[in-house]
Amino acid sequence: MSSFATRFSRRAAFLMALWVAGGCSIIPFRSRPTPPPSPLPASTSAVQLDRQGGKRSYESITRDAETRFGLFNTHLKADTLFFEIPRSELGKVMLLLRRTAAGNPDVNAQAARTVAWELENDRVVLRERRFAALAPEDSPIREAVDGILFGGYIATFDVVAFGPDSSLVIVVTPLFTTNRGEFVGVRSIATDRSFIESVAAFPENVNVVAVQTGVAPPANATANAPSVAYSVRLEWSLLKLPEDPMMPRLYDSRVGYFTADRIAFGADAHTTRRVQNIRRFRLEKADPAAEVSDPVRPIVFWVDRATPEWLVPWVMRGIEEWQPAFEAAGFSNAIVARRAPSPEEDPDWSPRDARHSIVYWRPSTTRNAIGEQVVDPRSGEILKAEVSIYHDVMALLRNWYFVQASAVDPRARTLPFPDSLMGRLVQHVVAHEVGHAIGLQHNFKASAMVPADSVRSVSFLRRMGSHTPTIMSYSRFNYVAQPGDNIPVDLLIPSVGPYDRFAIMWGHRPIPGATTPEEELPTLHAWASVQDTVPWYRYQTPDATNDPANVTEAVGNADPVTSSRLALRNLERVVVTMIEAAEQPGEDYSLLRELYDAAVTQWGNYMRHVVALIGGADSRETRGTGPRFFPIPRARQVEAMAFLRDHAFRPPTYLLDPEILRRLEPSGALSRIASAQSLILADLFNDVRLSLLVEYEALAARPGDAYTVADLARDTRAGVWGELSDERVRIDVFRRTLQRSHIGALGRVVQSGLQSDARPILRGELIELDRLIERALPRAADTATRLHLEDARHMIASIIDPEARGVGVVPSAFASPTNLDDSSGAYFLIDDCFQPDTNGIALAPDIEIWQW
């Protein structure tokens, strides 16, 4: 959801800003603290200072002002906001968090940065603090490292008065109401229509709400159209970071955590070192001697008051589904769900407060969900976790569950779903996104760590909890289980599983006696090594670009051929019931169209899982103890191609039901199926896959051990052009379209600049195909077949010798494997926090549907 994956990017070491996103890493910053200014003589009073410096009197500021007491005392007087900054807080690192409360900002309103208030030349300055690099205090390079981390000056302020204890009173209104980049949420702020709305002060933080009005041309306006005004309500939360940072826990690539990264200089190693701290909440036992103890401070997720009332219990269950995982780490009641208070109960409470973790319910037609964290860049401590559930994600859940599970769950054959089923589906989404929000990345590999026949076993599913060891995968619902397996419906939906409990234990269990992150490493290594013998504790290998276990949307993909074959049986059962479920008198056919498109997409997913075996390699993190990548045996790849011959290269007739199609459209079935099959061919003959096949053949221990490009070409030809050997050659329109796509897929490689043996091999394949077509032409059974075969020869000739035969006719859709006809909807899904398909082969446009 999103989310979610993701793919996961690392920012460069010296970014100017702190980036907070669910699926992406924060690169934090560090600099030497600014020393506090010399204290004023104790005998000097505020009144004397006022008179000596010509300042306003403190009383003149506080008189008739709305004053709030907290980290900074604040005074809101008419349109002016004063901060009263204690000298003890100068130089302290703070988190500045900006969130949108209302309206649509022009800039990223999910901004966060680290700052400090400092005193320079009798003026208060707000300066960015950076933590991208670090060096030992006594290292010669320390001063240079501090230099490169010198933070920018965001704003300067005159001291307008001195408060009690010589606190510094400044006017901060312009921060929130003028065009200051770090604070702006709109373009071209109109200061006369921008104002402070409210302020709240607490012991740890200060929150400011302001309305900013911008002026911009209306959407789709002509060049000379007048600009119009629009307003956004923004909230800033300024939170003091812990003066005693949490002890970090160092990242291990065998356990999937998001990280806060820093570059270390001055170490004994002959290079810089990237220090990766996992992102996690600070949990400390109330009773350190107890095996399981309540934490001193639990993780509290607040449930947004915008959440539909009937769904609140399901959202809370999704949050607290993680409690057993924290119990495995030694903490009871570590994660709790609470309903956000109403304005009447607590007028100062805000979901955007940097102290509050929250599950938002977003009123949006976006079919998505996202989990994110805001962290202390010095340690990786999660300060605020945020989950966004978009209202229309329920439509996506309905479509997916109907297509994947209605064959075995009678509740899903009637639409709309009963509230009990939809509530359970929402709980699943919330639990997944909470997993991201507490620090966990996706783990797509886990779904392949369960034997394929076990996902049909009630006893196994009871022990495991569901068909996948982790809720952090995209192994949605159990589409492999057959009606006769009698799987209880509560086991069709994933829940927090064994890998999740293992990962939370690894990241949070205290290690007695360890006082530094380095001292924890032997124990952490021993814990992670358990996955050597317990496969469902494994995490996807980060750089395994062609591991068939790392695919998305897969169930039972320890054996994708067997699982996909069973899945196709269920899909055919589902399509038969589609009209009865979706057709309602007086309603249009938009619901039937959504369900049908979801079925076509699902068919493409099953094919994709099998394609991933071709040129694939199993992977496992061994951490310096042996090989990590193991090419898929030839026999498994031959089996995969046989499956594709029988299922991918033949039109799925049950998806061509005229009763459905004539309700949806006057035409389009041919192009929809053709596009889905074209994606499969483009995937098979992707440059990356071809290069892998060439390399694995070259490194094979014995000739014949590897599945080769020549094998792929021959087996695909046998599956796509099988009619050429018939006594009477008759090719229907679906196969004719597929065959043209096949020529186009080979032609793209032949006409490309691919520097690989694959190109001449496929050129030779086209020549051989031309020879076979020539021999088959006299046996053409009808005019359409004859003309198709003649056209196919022309296509081949234009590819092999374009100068002799005119301009090449490789379909433009195959100019790039990522520029394909999208009419079928047969896409693989990506995140952020949907992550890209980790086969490393881009098949379709990057379409973000659900950020899990």
Structure tokens at 81: 């906001």
Range scoring the smallest mean pLDDT among 505-514, 811-820, 836-845:
836-845
Q: What's the pLDDT score for residue 96?
A: 95
Beta-carbon contacts of residue 298 (< 8 Å; ≥ 6 apart) = 333, 334, 335, 336
Q: What's the pLDDT score for residue 367?
A: 94
If you average pLDDT over residues 640-655, what whole number do you get?
A: 96
pLDDT digits (tens, 9 = 90+) for 227-253: 788 899 999 999 999 999 999 999 999
- Strand 195-201 relative to strand 205-216, pairing: antiparallel
Q: For residues 466 and 185, which has the higher predicted lDDT (pLDDT)?
A: 466
pLDDT digits (tens, 9 = 90+) for 651-690: 999 999 999 999 999 988 888 889 999 999 999 999 999 9
pLDDT band at 55 (very low <50, low <70, confident <90, very high): confident
Query: How many whole angstroms separate alpha carbon 633 and alpha carbon 629?
Result: 12
> What Rg value do the Cα atoms of the chain yield, rounded?
31
Q: CA-based diameter of the chain, in Å?
A: 112
Q: What's the pLDDT score for residue 41?
A: 34
pLDDT at 827 over 70: no
- 125 beta partners: 118, 156
Structure tokens at 312: 């609140």
- 357 beta partners: 301
- 66 beta partners: 76
Q: Where do the structural domains in the chain lie, given as residue ranges?
A: 46-240, 706-816
Are 376 and 833 within 8 A, CB to CB? no
pLDDT digits (tens, 9 = 90+) for 564-596: 999 999 999 999 999 999 999 999 999 999 999
Residue burial 771-781, b: 16+ Cβ < 10 Å; e: rest: eebeebbebbe
Q: What's the pLDDT score for residue 45?
A: 34
Helix (H) / strand (E) element for 498: namely helix 498-508
Q: Among 404, 409, 820, which Cα is nearest to 601's? A: 404
Beta-carbon contacts of residue 207 (< 8 Å; ≥ 6 apart) = 199, 200, 201, 235, 236, 237, 238, 348, 350, 352, 353
Percentage of residues in the chain having pLDDT higher than 70: 86
Q: What's the pLDDT score for residue 111?
A: 79
Are 651 and 571 within 8 A, CB to CB? no
pLDDT band at 54 (very low <50, low <70, confident <90, very high): low
pLDDT digits (tens, 9 = 90+) for 389-426: 999 999 999 999 999 999 999 999 999 999 999 999 99
- Write phi, then psi, for 107 (nearest 5 degrees): -120, 170
Q: What's the pLDDT score for residue 851?
A: 34
Q: What's the pLDDT score for residue 223?
A: 63
Sole residue written with tokens 């054996």: 559
Q: What's the pLDDT score for residue 284?
A: 97
In whole numbers, what is the pLDDT of the chain averaged over residues?
A: 87
Question: In residues, how long is the chain?
Answer: 852
If you average pLDDT over residues 788-814, what whole number do you get?
A: 73
Positive or negative, the Cα torsion across 630, 631, 635, 640? Answer: positive
- Write phi, then psi, for 639 (nearest 5 degrees): -60, -40
Q: What's the pLDDT score for residue 841?
A: 26
Query: How many whole angstroms separate alpha carbon 724 and alpha carbon 701?
Result: 36
Q: What's the pLDDT score for residue 823?
A: 29
Q: What's the pLDDT score for residue 605?
A: 96
pLDDT at 21 over 50: no
Q: What's the pLDDT score for residue 227?
A: 78
Q: What's the pLDDT score for residue 7?
A: 33
Distances (CA, A) of 218 to 189, 222, 510, 566: 16, 9, 56, 52
Q: What's the pLDDT score for residue 267?
A: 65
Structure tokens at 508: 């949070």
- The one-letter amino acid code at 213 reads T
pLDDT at 372 over 50: yes
- The one-letter amino acid code at 752 reads S
Are 409 and 424 within 8 A, CB to CB? no
- Write phi, then psi, for 773 (nearest 5 degrees): -65, -40
Q: Which DSSP state fits 497? A: -
Q: For residues 3 and 517, which has the higher predicted lDDT (pLDDT)?
A: 517
If you average pLDDT over residues 178-197, what whole number do you get?
A: 86
Q: What's the pLDDT score for residue 218?
A: 67
Sole residue written with tokens 């964290």: 373
Q: Using alpha carbons only, give the angle 124, 125, 130 rounded to the nearest 5 degrees.
A: 145
If you average pLDDT over residues 708-737, what whole number do you get?
A: 97
If you average pLDDT over residues 28-54, what whole number do you get?
A: 37
Helix (H) / strand (E) element for 662: namely helix 658-664
If you average pLDDT over residues 738-752, what whole number do you get?
A: 95
Q: What is the pTM of this model?
A: 0.87
pLDDT at 104 over 70: yes
CA of residue 463 relative to chain centroid, distance:
29
pLDDT digits (tens, 9 = 90+) for 286-341: 999 999 999 999 999 999 999 999 999 999 999 999 999 999 999 999 999 999 99
